[in-house]
Structure 1
């Protein structure tokens, strides 16, 4: 709670604070016999025609008429980080995660990167808009649409919210131009040693530098297998695949890790439904973490969909916490 009933309420924000993280309190119903207030914290993405648009950490947009404001102030750009969680800014993590999941084809548009991989995953088939595209926004977005249309692909933009330097204002501009958010997820970070120290059985985990046919049978995130899938999965500075043997030719559990300097990124951790709740995911991650520690990494990251409660609980128990949220917007 940013405001207390006993404190003096003041509106200490103006349109000049667009782009800053703010906390505001608004009156829900001025005619109600008992005043009811709502507090909102997020980035002030715009203040136009008497309406504030605040983007919350999760990417949710909140429209607030300025006439309903009773208090408002600028607050620190990001909350204090938890002990044991590695410090990192958004640009560093954006580039590390991009190197861990590289497209088959890419092209620069100023500081933006156009990425394509025959439609295999949104991450590898979306523009990564970091920095200045070298064109006015409308012109840049037109180039993005044309580039993907030439490849028979929908135009996606990958953006982020919820940390210092993320892209709340860009999200607002995309939505104003008809782009629609299709999926959101969390980028979580944690200490790598805590994952390597998990009390997990790693004796059955097999590590490899490549994904074999059995591994791919468990990883079912594609419709048509092809060289583009292996190109993306095999991309990154130092890539490791893990599997635990199962029955009928498919592993009981799999995982992927990319080591990049101090970072180890965990992806594609999947467990056969009949073998869940047996600690197999922890075993896969522990084995991969120990290999990454041997290569000199010390920090870990992973991506998890916001609605995946089971996975989020698992990762919280390993010491991971949310750094920011990322989103994929599709041109309409």
Structure 2
């Protein structure tokens, strides 16, 4: 398997969708919650909201086992059945992107979370984890506040962020407050780090680096020999932080829509 595709498969295992259906080597994914509409909206009810592009798109790596046109038709049918817009995640400038373009699909440049993502690769972060940090086996309310903006997650958020055999939740506790958090998941020898966040009032104190060291130590003890991050190319602050920790860009992926 192509190295970029192998990394993408590991990352997908580390970020499990609520619903997943294989299509040859492709993975059709949906992770959706129903959010209450405003009382002023006619008809009431709720709207369907997907949690992250990664968990609500087709990971198009490898061979779908059918012609690409048929695979994309099935992808659209799956998306519509689960109440999410059809979207494909594909390695940038790869064979699948050329096939998508040939079928009339386009890069989803208006995607609010960033349609182009840099996949960074590096050694598992090293260094002693400061006493103010810990990696927990289950997320706390403070961790959830940093990860999803609320102390209690929606079902899709909980599933994606807590599922997996080796998942850890790093926290930095200061002044009785969860000042920072991070998520780590080990798949084989790969540690996927995500959801690194520090509260505004606690930034520029080295907490992000401390959390990376803590989750790196946790991952290493669970067999990880390399670390991967997926960062929107528009998130220049995060890219600079990770570059300072020795991470380099391995490849990029983009989201495509019909």
Range of TM-score over shorter length = 0.7 to 0.9
Whether the 8 Å contact between 1:100 and 1:237 is mirrored in structure 2 is: no
Q: Is residue 9 of structure 2 the alignment partner of residue 95 of structure 1?
A: yes
CA distance in structure 1 between the aligned counterparts of 2:63 and 2:239, rounded to whole angstroms: 34
Provide the residue aligned with 2:211 in structure 1.
284
Whether the 8 Å contact between 2:60 and 2:96 is mirrored in structure 1 is: no
Superposed CA RMSD in Å reads 2.0
Query: What whole-Å deviation, never above 9, does each CA across 1:171-219 have from its counterpart, x for those lacking one?
Result: 2332341333231111111111xx212xx76211122112222211111
Provide the residue aligned with 1:149 in structure 2.
80
Q: Is residue 104 of structure 2 the alignment partner of residue 196 of structure 1?
A: no
Q: Is residue 79 of structure 2 the alignment partner of residue 174 of structure 1?
A: no
Q: Which among 67, 85, 108 is matched to residue 136 of structure 1?
A: 67
Report the CA distance between 1:159 and its aligned residue: 0.7
Classify the secondary structure of the residue corresponding to 1:219: helix
The answer for unaligned runs of 5 or more in structure 2 is 33-49, 110-114
Structure 1 residues 1-332: aligned runs within 5 Å: 89-118=3-32, 119-161=50-92, 168-176=94-102, 177-182=104-109, 183-192=115-124, 195-197=125-127, 202-220=130-148, 225-246=153-174, 251-331=178-258
CA distance in structure 2 between the aligned counterparts of 1:252 and 1:103, rounded to whole angstroms: 28
**TM-score, normalising length: structure 2:** 0.83
Runs of 4+ in structure 1 deviating by more than 3 angstroms, as ranges, are: none
Evaluate the alpha carbon distance shift between residue 201 and residue 107 of structure 1 in structure 2; reply closer, same or farther with a 3 A threshold. closer
The answer for unaligned runs of 5 or more in structure 1 is 1-87, 162-166
Query: What whole-Å deviation, never above 9, does each CA across 1:83-113 have from its counterpart, x for those lacking one?
Result: xxxxx91232111111110001111122211
Larger Rg: 1
**TM-score, normalising length: structure 1:** 0.66
Greater relative CO, 1 or 2 (CA 8 Å, sep 6+): 2
CA distance in structure 2 between the aligned counterparts of 1:298 and 1:109, rounded to whole angstroms: 30
Report the CA distance between 1:250 and its aligned residue: 5.5
Classify the secondary structure of the residue corresponding to 1:252: strand
CA distance in structure 2 between the aligned counterparts of 1:265 and 1:218, rounded to whole angstroms: 18
Whether the 8 Å contact between 1:215 and 1:250 is mirrored in structure 2 is: no
